[in-house]
Amino acid sequence: MALHLELRPEPSRAMLFVAPMLAIALTVATGGVLFAALGFSPLPALKVFFLSPLGDLYGISELLLKATPLAIIAVALALGFRGNVWNIGAEGQLIMGAVASGGVALALYDVSGYWVLPVVLLAGVAGGALYAGIPAFLRIRFHANEILTSLMLNYVATLFLAWLVHGPWRSPEGYNFPESRMFTDSALMPVLLEGTRLHVGALLAPVVALIAWVILSRSFLGFQIKVIGMTPAAGSYAGFGPKRVIAFTLMFGGGMAGLAGAMEICGPIGQLVPTVSPGYGYTAIIAAFLGRLHPFGILLAALLLALTYIGGDAAQISLGVPLAVTQVFQGMILFFLLACDVLIRYRVRLAARPSLGGAA
Amino acid sequence: MKMTRRTGLALVLAMATGLFGGMTAKAAEPLKVGFVYVGPIGDHGYSYQHDQGRLAVEKHFGDKVKTTYVENVAEGADAERVIRQLAAAGNDIIFTTSFGFMNPTAKVAKQFPKVKFEHATGYLRGPNLATYMARFYEGRYVAGIAAGRLTKSNKLGYIASFPIPEVVRGVNAFTLAARSVNPKAEVRVVWVNSWYDPGKEREAAEALMAQGVDVLAQHTDSAAPVQAAEEKGVWAIGQASDMSRFGPKSHLTAIVDDWSGYYIDRVQAVMDGTWKSTDTWHGFDADMVRLAPFNPATPADVKAEALSVEQQIKDHKLHPFTGPIKDQSGKEVVAAGKTVSDADLLKMNWFVEGVIGSMPK
């Protein structure tokens, strides 16, 4: 007797939903074993890791706060990934969004008005979108691989921001430390829940997901994205080239990453600092695939990833679990998800080995 | 038995609701002390030294304290959450050990007026927010004396992280010291724009050695420059921890951060109810900065001179930033006999004469 994989005639729709659940269950189970091996009792440890962040309103607000930039970026990136456009530069686009919006916020430092924040956020969208326009132009005009160009531009953006906060935009009251001034209230995101850091930006995540879903499933552009994603040649037979898809998906991804950057500096951070993102632009790529490139799946995936970060902090604080365990958890989720994907296209059969293979 | 069970229950309740303070009889419980580190603890470097301080607190107070740490906390939006979590978990005093934690610490301190906060290297203070840092430049000055004596090429190298006043001060102290014993010495600065990046630090070390540098100093956390120096047979000065095991032949000394004494004092002050928001900047005098033992191969006269300078600084007979001091353009910035004030040291953003390289601006 042995386990056999049998190709399904068509991908299983049920497994499309079961596979992620199975992956999470396997992660939790393996995590329990891991905790036991490290000398922690598994159940309480898992409880601290996965449930304690959800124990009170503040914890939930922090979870949503952390998931918001991940979700907004991942949803937008997924459109490109569907259409074979590989934008790996969301981190840089986020930073340039923060730079553009931070510049406007500092320029309007003495101005107050309800219109300041929208202008600041739009500047963020524009900054990110224009920055993503560089790899889009290079791809369309010179066929330069956007994976490389967008990735390399991340480093440029990081250094550009560092230069600004070390030099021209450095706070005059800040003892030459590399930070801008703190933004005034007009440029700060209104807080949704008194006493928390959750701001109105969290409401934008489902809106962006909805827009992405409408584009993908209800618009001609979405149809083009999917066709080109599946068979690039079919697009040209049908009379549309990839240019529009490349330009749109890259700049939409950049714009949303820029929005996320703007909301970080106008939200929880409140100023421009050398590090505005703990790698959201990269983690969003994982969130996009964890959510199977579907806008609503990505919302859930972003929440799950945010939970592993916050749960990891909680486990460090209340149990003394090392930080590396958090990283192992994140790795396991992705690993098991990819492994469980096999079940979508293959069926597992318990059968005697065919005689060709020799004794079972 | 009953007592501990009840306090245990109360503690759990307090943690679960995120409320703490006044609910339980404090005398029966250990004082809770939290630490936030910017990097992983590892086995050497800046965060490691803070953790050594935490362990010293545990050793000193035994079961009268319970310490908790969170490592590798990104400077940015995450820091505030972590600091707040530590406060909500009932820590009585929380040390946040990196400059980028300043504004988050100040925000959380306002929300938890009963908790004491201590922020390293910043300038924001409040009724329950103190600041502390070490005069590392004193250590760098002593290292500069030895480097100025030992160099044969008169070229010294300095691997720098970010152009913030703390780092600039270190480069200047090192340069002033080296030129005080060897006026021909020059210090070449390479910026790696990172606190910890072994790859870039090694490249910087190799680039400097290729230019003829024969003593390397660093204001970055990895041991890569010391290792690179070991291979090429030049001197290297370690950073934050004693790095001699990475370069038994090359490791001249290291500027060691020692937070133990400060952490023990501050925890004691909370226990005694005498804690106040203070601004602490100690150096050799309070053993907050130490030098690692000099390499056995160091010439005896060089070692003796360095140790004598160390003693003079410790006794406040010598201030590393005493004029005349010229800037890179040769203009006299500090007149003879004058010393640079602490306020000016804290925002130093210019190089002294003898530094080759410019501030990235």
Whole-number pLDDT of residue B269: 96
Query: Distance from B149 to chain A by nearest Cα, in Å?
Result: 33
Whole-number pLDDT of residue A346: 83
pLDDT in tens, A296-312: 999 999 999 999 889 88
| Count of alpha carbons within 13 angstroms of residue A130, beta-carbon side | 13
- Across the range A28-56, mean pLDDT stands at 89
Whole-number pLDDT of residue A30: 92
| CA–CA gap between residue A193 and residue A303 (Å, rounded) | 19
Mean pLDDT of chain A, nearest integer: 89
Query: Distance from B108 to chain A by nearest Cα, in Å?
Result: 11
Max Cα–Cα distance, chain B, nearest Å? 74
Whole-number pLDDT of residue B92: 96
For chain A, the straight-line distance linking the first and the last C-alpha, in angstroms and rounded, comes to 6
Contact criterion met (CB < 8 Å) for A182 and B75: no
Contact criterion met (CB < 8 Å) for A317 and B360: no
- Across the range B169-191, mean pLDDT stands at 96
CATH code at B136-256+290-356: 3.40.50.2300
Strand A346-351 relative to strand A2-7, pairing: antiparallel
Cα separations (Å) of B276 from A24, A263, B131, B249? 48, 36, 11, 45
- Which among A56, A274, A316 has CB closest to B18? A56
Whether the predicted pLDDT of B7 surpasses 80 = no
Domain boundaries, chain B: 2-134, 136-256+290-356
Contact criterion met (CB < 8 Å) for A275 and B100: yes
Optimal mutation site among B68, B85, B164, interface A, most CBs of chain A within 10 A: B85
Task: With cut-offs at 50, 70 and 90, classify the pLDDT of residue A333.
Answer: confident
Q: Does B347 touch chain A (CB under 8 A)?
A: yes
The 3-state DSSP composition of chain B as helix, strand, coil percent (nearest 5) reads 45, 20, 35
Whole-number pLDDT of residue A174: 77
Whether the predicted pLDDT of B190 surpasses 70 = yes
Whole-number pLDDT of residue A352: 62
Of A289 and B187, the structure prediction assigns the larger pLDDT to B187
Whole-number pLDDT of residue B87: 94
Q: Is the pTM of this model over 0.90?
A: no
Contact of A332 with A27, CB cutoff 8 Å: yes
Whole-number pLDDT of residue B17: 43
Q: Which residues of A touch B89 (CB under 8 A)?
A: 317-318
| CA–CA gap between residue A47 and residue A32 (Å, rounded) | 10
Task: Tally Cβ neighbours within 10 Å of residue A9.
Answer: 7
| CA–CA gap between residue B147 and residue B178 (Å, rounded) | 6
- Which helix (DSSP H) or strand (DSSP E) does residue A316 occupy? helix A295-319
Contact criterion met (CB < 8 Å) for A268 and B77: yes
pLDDT in tens, B315-336: 999 999 998 999 999 999 999 9
Task: Tally Cβ neighbours within 10 Å of residue B154.
Answer: 17
Whole-number pLDDT of residue A4: 81
Q: Which residue has the tokens 């440890």?
A: A45
Which tokens go with A32? 């329990």
pLDDT in tens, B42-92: 889 999 999 999 999 999 999 999 999 999 898 888 899 999 999 998 999
Q: What is the ipTM of this complex?
A: 0.78
Task: With cut-offs at 50, 70 and 90, classify the pLDDT of residue B6.
Answer: very low
Whether the predicted pLDDT of B18 surpasses 70 = no
Give start and end residues of each alpha helix (H) in B134-220: 136-150, 165-181, 198-210
- Which among B85, B162, B347 has CB closest to A317? B85
Chain A: residue whose CA lies nearest to B34: A317
Q: Which residues of B touch A264 (CB under 8 A)?
A: 76-77
Burial of residue A75 (number of CB atoms within 10 Å: 0-12, 13-18, 19+) = buried
- A45-49, B125-129, B238-242: least confidently modelled range: A45-49
Q: Which residues of B touch A309 (CB under 8 A)?
A: 78
- Which helix (DSSP H) or strand (DSSP E) does residue B133 occupy? strand B129-134
Domains B2-134 and B136-256+290-356 share a fold: yes
Max Cα–Cα distance, chain A, nearest Å? 82
Whole-number pLDDT of residue A353: 58
Task: With cut-offs at 50, 70 and 90, classify the pLDDT of residue A123.
Answer: very high
Ramachandran quadrant class, B324 (left: phi over 0; alpha: psi -120 to 50; beta: rest): beta
Task: Express as a percent the part of chain A with pLDDT over 70.
Answer: 97
Whole-number pLDDT of residue B155: 97
Whole-number pLDDT of residue A334: 81
Whether the predicted pLDDT of B214 surpasses 50 = yes
Task: With cut-offs at 50, 70 and 90, classify the pLDDT of residue B15.
Answer: very low
Using CA of residue B326, residue B327, residue B333, residue B339, what is the dihedral sign? Answer: negative
Contact criterion met (CB < 8 Å) for A167 and B86: no
Whole-number pLDDT of residue B40: 86
Domains of chain A: 1-38+324-360 (no CATH), 57-321 (1.10.3470)
Q: Does B120 touch chain A (CB under 8 A)?
A: no
- Which among A163, A276, A320 has CB closest to B76? A276
Give start and end residues of each alpha helix (H) in A219-242: 220-230, 232-237
Whether the predicted pLDDT of B16 surpasses 70 = no
Q: Which residues of A touch B16 (CB under 8 A)?
A: 55-56
Q: Which residue has the tokens 């790996």?
A: A88
pLDDT in tens, B110-157: 999 999 999 998 889 999 999 999 999 999 999 999 999 999 999 999
Query: Distance from B224 to chain A by nearest Cα, in Å?
Result: 22
Of A204, A211, A68, which is closest to residue B77 (Cα–Cα)?
Answer: A68
Chain A: residue whose CA lies nearest to B35: A317
Q: DSSP letters of A153-211?
A: HHHHHHHHHHHHHHTTT--TTSTT-S--PPPPGGGSPPBSSTTS--BTHHHHHHHHHHH
Question: How far is residue B337 CA from its own chain's centroid?
Answer: 28
What CATH superfamily classification does B2-134 receive? Response regulator (3.40.50.2300)
Whether the predicted pLDDT of B288 surpasses 70 = yes
- Across the range B265-290, mean pLDDT stands at 95
| CA–CA gap between residue A278 and residue A319 (Å, rounded) | 24
Task: Tally Cβ neighbours within 10 Å of residue B17.
Answer: 12
Optimal mutation site among B17, B33, B69, B78, interface A, most CBs of chain A within 10 A: B78
pLDDT in tens, A232-268: 788 778 778 789 999 999 999 999 999 999 999 999 9
Q: Does B71 touch chain A (CB under 8 A)?
A: yes
| CA–CA gap between residue B77 and residue B99 (Å, rounded) | 14
Q: Which residues of B touch A315 (CB under 8 A)?
A: none
Contact of B144 with B174, CB cutoff 8 Å: yes
| CA–CA gap between residue A358 and residue A221 (Å, rounded) | 54
- Across the range B267-272, mean pLDDT stands at 96
Whole-number pLDDT of residue A1: 59
Task: Express as a percent the part of chain B with pLDDT over 70.
Answer: 92
Contact of A298 with A71, CB cutoff 8 Å: yes
| CA–CA gap between residue B68 and residue A185 (Å, rounded) | 35
Mean pLDDT of chain B, nearest integer: 90
Contact criterion met (CB < 8 Å) for B193 and A159: yes
Task: Tally Cβ neighbours within 10 Å of residue A290.
Answer: 25
Task: Express as a percent the part of chain A with pLDDT over 90.
Answer: 54
Cα separations (Å) of B334 from A83, A246, B176, B321? 63, 59, 12, 9
Contact of A172 with A268, CB cutoff 8 Å: no
Whether the predicted pLDDT of B5 surpasses 70 = no
| CA–CA gap between residue A33 and residue A26 (Å, rounded) | 11
Whole-number pLDDT of residue B361: 56
Q: Which residues of A touch B71 (CB under 8 A)?
A: 316, 323
